[in-house]
Structure 1
Amino acid sequence: MSFCSSSASVDTSGQCTGMGCCQTSIPANLTYFNTTFLTRESASVLDFNPCSYAFVIETQQFRFDINDLAGNNFASKYIDGVPLVLNWVAGTESCEEAKKNMTSYACLSKNSVCIPSDSGLGYLCNCSSGYGGNPYLEEGCQDIDECAFPEQYLCHGQCTNTIGSYICTCPKGTRSTNASTIDCSPYQDSTQTIKMVLGISISTVFLLLCIFPLVIKYQKRKLIKEKDGFFKQNGGFILLEQMRSRQVDTIREIIILSQINHRNVVRLLGCCLEVEVPMLVYEFIPNGTLFQLIHSEGSSISLDDRLRIAIESAEALAYLHSSAFPSIIHADVKSSNILLDDKYMAKVTDFGASHMVVKNESQFMTIVQGTLGYLDPEYLQERQLTEKSDVYSFGVVILELITRKTAIYSEDSGERKGLASSFMLAMKDDRLEDMLDKSIIGVGMEPLRAISELAKKCLSLKGEERPQMTEVVERLKIIRRAWQEKLTEYYAEETENVYAKPSDNYPSSIAQYRTIAIELEHGR
């Protein structure tokens, strides 16, 4: 009900407050609506409000205006009628009841929801969130691309449409507690920092790994250049040739020793080839060399043992010349290349300079190798190595055994002389006793002269005049046998006096024959 006595009393706020305009809501479950006008004493207001109006209109579409009261203004304003919204519902049952009968259920779209009616009767259908369209059709509700409507679907970051919704994320390097409503701001990600540090570290390590080999290579080149400089400056080429020569000698020695099996030749047990200069492993020889035995001060050796060692050494050389196949020329026979085992048995060693003689070849040209004082003069002059070259060198060894002088020795005056030449001159001048070892002269000159004659033959300047090693062995055995027989006869005659009083003619023969008193360092 609306009352107003004059236009001045009309509410001008635009709202229907009862002063010139009043309104009421339509109650729920209303099935019939009728409008009735009751006018009371309207004569006093006819001048500004001659007509009364009642109508049903959408609330949002009407705003009261005081001018609507004057004359026919309102009728003229809404000559085509007022906008009216008729709310309707599906059925008369609730959502729960309607879903029980799917044949009559109005919400056909699978992406729709049932909404209870505000009026109390029936229900309404609406598309699910993120979908739009007509929910009363089977395919009526379709996905909405929310990213296409940024004003409606807010996103302050990167919008990504999904089925029925959308995702709003911040760009890389920024973050927000809710990107849909709050702007994204830059930040320092600890994970990103770790990745960056890790990446830099890996790159640095990789760079170092790439640079390190280059540095090593550069250092190696520099070292090689420096070594080459020192090598040339300090006679390295000569050393290199010596090392190469030593390698060749070692290989030759391995080949030769692998074909020899004789009790008076040192046995090769193995070799090491993983070094610049290959090393050979021989059987252990504890009593050093013949050179040490003869020339060490304080050592004592009997004539019989000297003959035995000479025979054993000669047998080894005879085996090389006559029994080995192919024949072998030692080429470096000397007292330091004759070893003595634990029983003082002779063992010929050092075949580095040796040569194998091809069938039907008695001599051949070669580079001169050997030790000064033992070298065959014919070999030195003609460069032709033969088996007789070993015979000459062995002749010098025999001289060492009976004189105890080295192949090159010094006189009291300090003059250095060759043993072979001095001995041959002494033989010529009949001064043999001057050359012999004083400790064995007492045994008698007969065996010593026989040994000296054999040595003289071995030292002949012409190789063809020297005996074969087999002849040397036989001759030494004969000399030793005769010497032993002579001793046996002497023992038979002097049985009673042998321990009481030494013979004037043989003052040390018994002791020398029975024992060898030596103090030497063991080893090669």
Structure 2
Amino acid sequence: MDVHSKQLLLMVVAVIYTKVATQPVSLPNCPTKCGNVTIPFPFGTTNNCSLDNTFLIDCNKTSSTSTDVPFLPQTNQSVLNISLDGELRAAWPVASDCYSENGTKLSQIIQDINMTHFHISPTKNKLIAVGCDTVGVLEAADSGRKTYATGCVAYCNNRTDIVANQPCSGIGCCEIQLPQVHMLTRVLYGSYGGIFYNQSHSKVHDFNPCGYAFLIENGSYSLTRSDLLKLKNKEFPVLLNWTVGNQTCLQAQKNLFNYACKAEKSTCYDPGTNKSGYLCRCFGGYRGNPYLINGCEEYNECLEHNDCVEEATCIDLPGSYHCLCPEGYEGDGKNNGTGCSPKSSTKSRKDIMLTIALSVSASLVALLIGSFYAYLAFKKRKFIKLQEHFFQQNGGLLLQQQIGRHGGSTEIAKVFKVEELKEATNNFDQGKILGQGGQGIVYKGVLQNNRIVAIKKSKISDPNQVESFINEVVVLSQINHRNVVKILGCCLETEVPLVVYEFIPNGTVYEHLHDETQSIKLTWKTRLRISKEIAGVLAYLHSAASTPIIHRDVKSSNILLDQNLTAKVSDFGASRIVPLDHSQINTLVQGTLGYLDPEYFHTSQLTEKSDVYRFGVVLAELLTGKKALSFGRPEVDRNLAAYFVSSMKQGRLLHILDKNIDEANIEQLKEVAHIAERCLRVKGEDRPTMKEVAMELEGILVVEERRWGSDNLSSEEAENLLKTARSIKNIEDVVGGSGINSYESYSLNQISMSLIGGR
């Protein structure tokens, strides 16, 4: 066949398999567009044109447009475009707060959006806050109604701080990823100004009168200086995920009547582990709408994208194509395959094969023997190098340096083999997860001696996290206290390090306080004892440990409870060992929203008084049963510390107490509440030490235990015990602390609501 005949044949084949007809988008007699937006089935603008009410789109004119605009009925947000790959792009409103020149808040808009049918993509969107004295806060919920909270801080001194095309790293704007959870269905977000000490937004008002917070699709925003004066956009694009129903492909295919993949040349696929429902797509070599009968049509891949090498000829086939090599060449003709290469003669190929066979046969025995011994030696060296690599990668050398620095006092109980820990956790099964945070994932495990343990698998991706892991091992190894979680050993020979702790079975103080079925167990006597135990641990760390230690992340979710509801302080990943010749340490602000020491933002100094402040927040939680920080409703849109101190000043202690505190002595409650109030003073120098707090709580507990232990306690005995407790408390006067009757001006602006490094 000559060249012209071959080309003519290929053209005929291409014409046979090429369809020029327009592919259907929607059901017959249904509109395919609303304004400029294509509405593909299963979506539709009427009940008859959509698969069901889930995919119904409202198509109406607005006051600002002359053309129709598609809207989501459940949120009344405009639709920008719809993809058959399971994505829908919608316009999302901006939240804001604005201030007068003297710093008075003029207005605030907090956005609360519930998605009925579609889910906000946690991987393709982010929260951005814009402003020079602004914190953006986000509360999200998944389909199981579990809530998650996060946020970030944006700050600058003047407009010249802003550089064009700079990332939102905190100067003028900040950004944070959405919680990576199962199907986000609700988001509540807003911006809050006046976050820094005594500023109240007044210093930046001239060029930044308002702060803004908004959800946006990744890569869709770039900060400009004019945005600080006024953000022109009222909405930004956000990517939503959609699927058909809530069944898997296997389940949906059992009912063909309701099965959505109607096209003959279509298939079903599950969109991923974090999504329910299923999606449809056309076979390879076909395209169109797989949700319509005859919706998938073949197209000529030879006339469009294909993988044939330049010298090969593309031949279109039904649903596929073939790359034909020229005459005298062999191979599959594809760039990612064998391509096309000249054929070798039969005789030459036989000679080459015979030569290779003889050479291999002659040296086979020698090669086998030498290779066997070389392989054994290589595997041994490789295994040793791999262990050394993981040891260094996981901070083994840093751990040795820390041990030497502290005079060899750090002793790890046991160095575990990774096989032991895999067996204990059923190869780190998901069902064994007890919890997870910024420092790692904690699994429940059972060792060979039947001891139940908690195994922490650290998340390490940079040197700073390696240092945090080694820091926790060093700190815990030096602590010997019955109210501190014990470290049993570690494993450094794996890709990520593992630490083994004693297992504490009864959850956290946070879980007990904020779960109605559990909070009833926390009687006043139990809460007072837990407070004393936590204070005792912190006093020990600050004053009695061989080297002073600052915990830096005291919060109710880091206080575990054993079977007897005895407190066990945990999570020392953020702790710092204080050298004996230093009373304070420069450090980045680190902690959890609601627990941050306001003095951080002025001194950037880390002292023991920061732990005192965090303990004060925990004590306020135990007294009120409220969370450290709530937002989203005007009546509770505040920090618990400020709320507690304000209520104490107004004499409203009895109004804010937890309803489950019903058998407590009122005088003793006031004593404990006053301790919390002193711990929450703005200036660290005005707060008591943890040693003083622990002694005061111990004295109060003695009085309470005598009262609980004897109903016949006379008034004179009670008064004597109370005097004893008060004399213990007055140690503050002996060491030169602030007077117990003094009060410090306290406002929400003095308590930072930022979230930096939260875990």
Q: TM-score range by the shorter chain?
A: 0.3 to 0.5
The structure carrying a bigger strand percent of its residues is: 2
Instruction: Give TM-score, length-normalised by structure 2.
Output: 0.33
Instruction: Give TM-score, length-normalised by structure 1.
Output: 0.48
Structure with larger Rg: 1
